[in-house]
Amino acid sequence: MDVKRLAGGNPQIPKGEGDAPVQAWIAGLEGWKQDQARALDALVAATLPGVRKAVKWNSPLYGVEGQGWFLGLHALTRCLKLAFFRGASLDPVPPVGARDPAVRYVHIAQGAALDEAQLARWISQAARLPGWTPGAKP
C-alpha cells in the first residue's frame, strides 16, 4: 500500500466515518505497529459491538453514537498512543498524563504485551462516560 506517512509513521488517511477508513489507517502502518493496531481495533470492536469508528486528524477515533468519542489512537515513532479522552475518570486511571487533566494515555511500545483485560475494562468504562466532541467545552 502506497501511503504518505507523517511523523512517527502515522499514516495520512482522508477523514471518514465508519470501519473502512480505520482499516485503511491500520493498513498504512508498518510492522509491529500494524499488528498492535489491528489487535487494539479488534479488542474495541469485541468489547463494544456496534462501536462508532472514524478517522479524523489522521487518527482513528472510537465512540458511542450520540455521546462523542471516548478513545483515539495515534502512531508515534516508538509507540502507539491510546488517548482516553475522559481517562482521569477511569478506575484505575491510565498511566500517562496529558496537558488536559481529563485525558490519560496508554503507550504501547514494540514487543509490549497488550493487557487486554485491563484495556477492555477501560474501554467499557470510557464508553459509559460522556465522550469528547470537537469544539465542545468540557
pLDDT higher than 70, residue 136: no
pLDDT of residue 135: 66
- The answer as to whether 132 is a domain residue is no
Tell me, yes or no, whether 30 lies in a domain: yes
Res 97: pLDDT: 87
> Grid coordinates representing 61?
477515533
- Residue 136, domain member (yes or no): no
What the block records as the C-alpha cell of 133 is 466532541
Residue 54: predicted pLDDT: 96
Q: What is the mean pLDDT of the chain?
A: 91
- How confident is the model over 40-54, as pLDDT tens digits? 999 999 999 999 999
For 51-84, b where at least 16 C-beta lie within 10 A, e where not — what string?
A: bbbbbeebbbbbbbeeebbbbbbbbeeebbbbbb
Q: Read off the pTM.
A: 0.91
Let me know if residue 70 belongs to a domain: yes
The answer, yes or no, to whether residue 138 has pLDDT greater than 80, is: no
> Tens digit of pLDDT for each residue in 67-114?
999 999 999 999 999 999 999 999 999 998 889 899 999 999 999 888
For residue 84, tell me if it sits in a domain: yes
Per the listing, cell 498524563 goes with 97
| Angle, CA 55 vertex, CA 75 and CA 105 arms, to 5° | 45
- What is the pLDDT, as a whole number, of residue 40? 96
**Backbone φ, ψ for residue 41 (5° rounding):** -60, -45
Report how far residue 17's alpha carbon sits from residue 61's, in angstroms, rounded to the nearest whole number: 9
CB neighbour list of residue 90: distance below 8 Å, 6 or more residues apart: 84, 104, 122, 125, 126
Answer whether residue 30 shows pLDDT above 60. Answer: yes
**CB-based burial label for 134 (10 Å; 0-12, 13-18, 19+):** exposed
Specify the pLDDT at position 28: 93
The Cα 79–Cα 129 span in angstroms is 26
Q: Specify the residue for cell string 467499557.
A: 124
Residue 94 sits in a domain whose CATH number is: 3.90.1150
- Number of domains making up the chain: 1
